[in-house]
Copies of this chain bind each other. A is one copy, B any other.
């Protein structure tokens, strides 16, 4: 059994706090399951930019690229920006440079965590937003133009190659979920094909890929209708592939349904690399106070273990992933309450509560 090597990029603000607690949970979990895991901490983000003039230097990128997986905290800071005013966001560079087209954003109601919706069916929410993460409107990042201080243009790009890969990923994910959940898998492309050439194209390519997966249900939804239906009946959805900008919006909306960003993990997956990180930002208002909810980070780490298992690590990794997720659920089901949901359990205490449940289930 070889050790797998994880590049830790804690980043800025609460990113560093949740990363530390997460490693503290992963270490005993790895021992218990006999997983070989080694960590290396890499510096990148807004403060790195302030101190060195580079948000993520090439040596750092090269080390991250060599790792078996990247576990990232959060990056960015108000007041530290690139000269053009845009955010210091090396996490975006990683997505683009490593080709991490599949942005997995699971939205799941955790037992005990207060839900935003009044309808009791909200407790059944269990869907995945699959945000394409290398093109779409974000293809314009750093390439938009301003003409004569009169007009600005940003071009959204949707390619056949990426849409095919994203769609394949979506169907395969739905198939795995269907097996786990014991119900038919449904893949719903979220687009605006009624108005835009790019989205009509995306839909056409998606439909072609859907033909190759007759065991799964393929459907479509317009983005505006989806924003409405994620409020009216989110429990009806399963896997939702969509364009980058739409996915950014829907994943925050989804997080709002199940307790907020503190409960929203993410994985950005490509054919050869993957970055795992909580969906939240660096939370300057609470940074340094030990109050950050590390749940999204722990659930992101579970996604990482699962992915490493799928990629050849084997069953022990998948088991560890399931156990970590189960321990998080059990801790909240048992009454754990973080400050973002009106409780008192800080970052370290939450980590301990989860460790306590590991092996207890």
What CA separation (Å) do A87 and B154 show in the bound complex? 24
On chain B, the residues within 8 Å of A114 by CB distance are 118
Q: How far is the CB of A351 from chain B (nearest CB, A)?
A: 24
- Judging by beta carbons under 8 Å apart, are B149 and A160 in contact? yes
Give A157's nearest chain B residue, CB to CB: B153
Segment of A180-188, A249-257, A266-274, A331-339 engaged in the interface with chain B: A249-257
Copies of this chain per assembly: 2
User: How far is it, in angstroms, between the C-alpha of A202 and the C-alpha of B282 when the chains are bound?
Assistant: 25
A153-B157, A232-B256 given as contacts; is B196 within 8 A of A144 (CB)? yes
Q: Which of A12-20, A25-33, A169-177, A221-229 contacts B (4 or more CB under 8 A)?
A: A221-229
A89 in the interface, Cβ–Cβ < 8 Å? Answer: yes
**Cα A163 to Cα B116 with chains together (Å):** 34
Cβ of A156 under 8 Å from chain B: yes
Q: Which of B153, B225, B245 is in CB contact (< 8 Å) with A192?
A: B245
Q: Which residues of B contact A228 (CB under 8 A)?
A: 252-253, 255-256, 260-261
B86 touches A195 (CB 8 A): yes
Which residues of B are found within 8 Å of A198, using beta-carbon distances? Answer: 140, 144, 152-154
Tell me whether A154 and B156 are in contact in the complex, defined as CB-CB below 8 angstroms, given that A196-B140, A231-B253, A256-B227 are known contacts.
yes
Cα distance A194–B257 when bound, in Å? 24
Task: Tell me which residues across on chain B come within 8 A of A160, comparing CB atoms.
Answer: 149-151
Give the number of residues in A that approach B within 8 Å (Cβ atoms).
66
With A117-B117, A228-B260, A257-B231 in contact, do A223 and B249 touch (Cβ < 8 Å)? yes
Asked whether A213 is an interface residue with its Cβ less than 8 Å from the other chain, the reply is no
Q: Does A130 contact B (CB under 8 A)?
A: no
Q: Mark A281-321, 1 if CB is under 8 A from B, else 0.
A: 00000000000000000000000000000000000000000
27 contacts between A and B (CB under 8 A): A86-B194, A87-B194, A89-B195, A118-B118, A137-B137, A137-B156, A137-B196, A140-B156, A140-B196, A143-B197, A151-B157, A152-B157, A152-B159, A152-B198, A153-B155, A153-B156, A155-B155, A192-B245, A223-B249, A224-B251, A227-B249, A227-B252, A229-B256, A230-B256, A231-B256, A232-B260, A253-B253
